């Protein structure tokens, strides 16, 4: 029997890398020539944030199959943590000024923000993941709200402190050091890591647990470990997205992280296809751009948005891409009539 080499079969990352670089070059040209205004680059930034949020939520919801309604809670942790870190750095003159590009400060802050979100993801995951389905959805909703309310009452996060009641203020004065080039590459790296994750033993294990957790245990998977790992992993990237958001928007109000925001990301995951990272990328792009594109029809905006959702759910109940992944290599080989290859690209979205 001839056994194919799976590495050679699963090519070609180079094509995707070229695709990503070309997209980046186009972006740079558009920004330089002024086609992409500050307004549009802001939308692109929102799209990148949505992509990271939707793909990371897809790990928990699509691959592990557990609806989580508190994803914005982790985003909030990442946002506030990284904002406080860059503020503290600015105050104590660490990595500020000439010779120390904003990029380092930004990167350190969002990674710490992501790490803290991951720790909370784990702490929430350990008790919550004993439950499944509707019950888990409700408990994650609860945890998301707890995080929100706690932050609202923290003095150093702009709140008045518990003794003064809950009327929190915004955390202001965050340096707006997210820039679209950096954010683009962070998105690419995040999606790449998540893609590798789901294509490894870990993604396989999550899908098995989604299909049948009893037989997953009986075939040797440590179900609890994998569930908590998926939740932690997912929360980490939500924290990263939060960090980007904080340094893009410049001031944080806890109202940016409500339950309804979490639901929006769940919608993106369902819209793109549960279990398809590229689906989440496409859905994150479309659903963040659509409200802006429809701004001219102000009063019909939400109507069109809702109809788009209904149409997709009726005609494509599994979402735009189902569980399949979009593959640049496949598209190219179809164009040039070559053999079929299997791999998708990462972060290929403009």
Partner 1 sequence: MSDTPVLKTVNLGINFGGLKAVDDFNIEIMQGELVGLIGPNGAGKTTVFNLLTGVYAPTEGDIFISGKRVNGLKPHQFVAEGIARTFQNIRLFKQMSVIDNVKIACDQSIKYKLGGGLLHSKLYWDEEQRVHEKALELLKLFNLDTKADFVASNLPYGQQRKLEIARALATDMKILLLDEPAAGMNPVETAELLDSINMIRDKFGIAILLIEHDMSLVMNVCERITVIDYGRTIARGLPSEVSNNPDVIAAYLGTDD
Kindly list the residues in this chain that would bind partner 1 in the complex (CB under 8 A).
1, 3, 5-7, 193, 196-197, 199-202, 204-205, 207-208, 211-212, 214-224, 229, 323
For the bound state, the minimum distance from the C-beta of residue 133 to partner 1, rounded and expressed in Å, comes to 17
For the bound state, the minimum distance from the C-beta of residue 85 to partner 1, rounded and expressed in Å, comes to 24
For the bound state, the minimum distance from the C-beta of residue 6 to partner 1, rounded and expressed in Å, comes to 5
| Main-chain phi, psi angles of 171, to 5 degrees | -85, 115
Q: Give the helix/strand (H/E) hosting 265.
A: helix 259-272
Structure tokens at 162: 């518990």
Q: Which is nearer to partner 1, 194 or 268 (CB)?
A: 194
Q: Which residues pair with 252 in a beta bridge?
A: 171
What is the CB neighbour count within 10 angstroms for residue 255? 12
Q: Which is nearer to partner 1, 175 or 216 (CB)?
A: 216
Q: Which is nearer to partner 1, 155 or 201 (CB)?
A: 201
Q: Which is nearer to partner 1, 74 or 197 (CB)?
A: 197
For tokens 């569980």, what's the residue? 323
Length of the chain: 350
Q: Which is nearer to partner 1, 87 or 204 (CB)?
A: 204
DSSP letter at 284 equals: H
For the bound state, the minimum distance from the C-beta of residue 134 to partner 1, rounded and expressed in Å, comes to 21
For the bound state, the minimum distance from the C-beta of residue 118 to partner 1, rounded and expressed in Å, comes to 12
What is the CB neighbour count within 10 angstroms for residue 331? 13
DSSP letter at 164 equals: G
For the bound state, the minimum distance from the C-beta of residue 228 to partner 1, rounded and expressed in Å, comes to 13
Q: Which residues pair with 319 in a beta bridge?
A: none
Q: Which is nearer to partner 1, 143 or 226 (CB)?
A: 226
> CA separation (Å) from 248 to 1, 56, 156, 160, 174?
56, 20, 20, 24, 9
CA-CA distance, 266 to 141, in Å (whole number)?
Answer: 12
Structure tokens at 3: 């056994």
DSSP count for the chain of H helices, then E strands: 14, 0
């Amino acid at each position: 029997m001839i056994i194919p080499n799976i590495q050679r079969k699963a090519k070609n990352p180079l094509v995707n890398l070229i695709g990503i670089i070309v997209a980046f070059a186009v972006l740079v040209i558009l920004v330089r020539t002024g086609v992409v205004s500050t307004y549009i680059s802001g939308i692109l930034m929102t799209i990148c944030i949505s992509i990271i949020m939707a793909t990371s939520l897809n790990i928990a919801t699509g691959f592990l199959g557990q609806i989580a309604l508190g994803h914005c809670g982790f985003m909030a942790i990442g946002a506030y943590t990284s904002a406080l870190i860059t503020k503290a750095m600015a105050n104590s003159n660490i990595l500020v000024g000439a010779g120390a590009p904003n990029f380092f400060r930004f990167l350190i802050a969002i990674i710490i923000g992501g790490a803290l979100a991951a720790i909370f993801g784990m702490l929430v995951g350990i008790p919550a993941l004993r439950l499944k389905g509707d019950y888990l959805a409700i408990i994650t909703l609860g945890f998301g709200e707890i995080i929100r309310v706690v932050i609202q009452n923290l003095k150093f996060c702009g709140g008045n402190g518990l003794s003064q009641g809950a009327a929190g203020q915004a955390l202001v004065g965050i340096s707006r050091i997210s820039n679209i080039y950096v954010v683009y590459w962070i998105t690419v790296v995040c999606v790449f890591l998540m893609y590798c994750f789901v294509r490894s033993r870990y993604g396989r294990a999550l899908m098995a647990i989604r299909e049948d957790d009893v037989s997953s245990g009986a075939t040797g998977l440590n179900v609890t470990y994998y569930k908590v790992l998926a939740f932690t992993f997912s929360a980490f990237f939500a924290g990263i997205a939060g960090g980007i958001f904080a340094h893009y928007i410049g001031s944080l109000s806890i109202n940016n992280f409500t339950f309804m925001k979490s639901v929006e990301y769940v919608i993106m995951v369902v819209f793109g296809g549960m279990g398809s990272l590229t689906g989440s990328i496409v859905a994150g792009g479309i659903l963040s751009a659509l409200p802006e594109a429809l701004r001219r029809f102000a009063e019909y905006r939400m109507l069109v948005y809702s109809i788009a959702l209904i149409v997709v759910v009726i005609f494509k109940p599994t979402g735009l891409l189902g569980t399949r992944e979009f593959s640049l290599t496949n598209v190219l080989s179809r164009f040039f009539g070559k053999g079929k290859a299997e791999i998708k690209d990462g972060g290929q979205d403009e």
